[in-house]
Structure 1
């Protein structure tokens, strides 16, 4: 059966697949933004996932068969990382991963690069709004970025009318 037609399995990740998670980020990001400077080696990225993200975030992966094809790292009202391999984008995998984070947090902030129009459109489709745009002076790549924010809307209690007073 074709992987693109199979529903991915969402799994909590441990230390073992951190190299695969770091590689997904590397491949997906540089596929979209080829001109970004490569500021870290693959080994440094793997260590970042193991030593920083794993102890401080919930990390979920989307697996198709035995292959990890998407990953999200989140916690404390932030999404730190959300990437899907290019060949698997557009199949709802990113939406599934983002939905897991939205189930656990009432509000979320995240950064993405201004030039990453695909990511920007994705987040906007999922209810995120741009709050701040920067010139990139504070990120390692020195690439202009944008801060997005999402907040869960309060649920209405059936039968109650809004008060106008």
Structure 2
């Protein structure tokens, strides 16, 4: 079986990226899959790339297994979503290791408070909780985390 490769996303893959994002988000149980949600994510991907996302995919021999979006100048891990059929196989850890190569000293991120599986995972991976704050655009409470390289 070929090894999954993490590489920059191509613009012709943005629809697939949006699908992975939706399927992974829906797997949290916090929202149902819908055409409206998929359209929202399809519109958001190129807009976020234009605003500075470094967008990567985990490519499993032509099938997208995950998406990763970083704001490198801000040391911000914006999105990390693994397709449901790839969850539980350390792909998230591979993506986090890849993130640490690009942001070696410090990383911050936000996580929806109700997505306990995700924020507990980040805590196990060395991220420290900083605060909770309502995200006005989403109307959800977000937990803020930070990881800093050990001295």
User: Which TM-score band (shorter chain)?
Assistant: 0.7 to 0.9
Where does residue 149 of structure 1 map in the other structure? 146
Q: What is the alpha-carbon distance in structure 2 between the residues aligned to residue 69 and residue 113 of structure 1?
A: 22
Residue 62 of structure 1 deviates from its aligned partner by 0.8
| Cα-to-partner distance string for 1:102-155 (whole Å, 9 max, x where unaligned) | 111121111111111111122112110110012x3x24332222001111122x
> What's the counterpart of residue 110 of structure 1?
109
Uncovered stretches (5+) of structure 2, i.e. residues with no partner:
none
More helix by share: 2
2:46 corresponds to: 50
TM-score w.r.t. the length of structure 2 is 0.86
Matches of residues 134-145 of structure 1 in structure 2 within 5 Å?
A: 134=133, 136=134, 138-145=135-142
What is the distance in 1 between the residues matched to 2:127 and 2:43?
A: 30
Q: Per residue, is there more strand in 1 or in 2?
A: 2
Q: Measure, in 2, the Cα distance between the counterparts of 1:98 and 1:54.
A: 23
Q: Is the 8 A contact 1:15 1:54 kept in 2?
A: no
- Alpha-carbon contact 1:109-1:150 (below 8 Å) kept: yes
CA RMSD of aligned residues (A): 2.1
How far off is 1:37 after superposition?
A: 10
Which of structures 1 and 2 has the bigger CA Rg? 1
Aligned pair count reads 147
Q: How does 1:1-165 map to 2 (within 5 A)?
A: 7-35=3-31, 41-53=37-49, 56-74=52-70, 75=72, 76-105=74-103, 106-134=105-133, 136=134, 138-154=135-151
Q: TM-score, normalised by structure 1?
A: 0.80
Secondary structure, in 3 states, of the residue corresponding to 1:53? helix
Segments of structure 1 that go 5 or more residues without pairing to the other structure are 155-165
**C-alpha deviation, 1:34, in angstroms:** 3.2
Whole-angstrom distance in 2 between the partners of 1:26 and 1:49: 12
Note closer, same or farther for the CA distance 1:92–1:54 as it changes in structure 2 (3 Å cut). farther
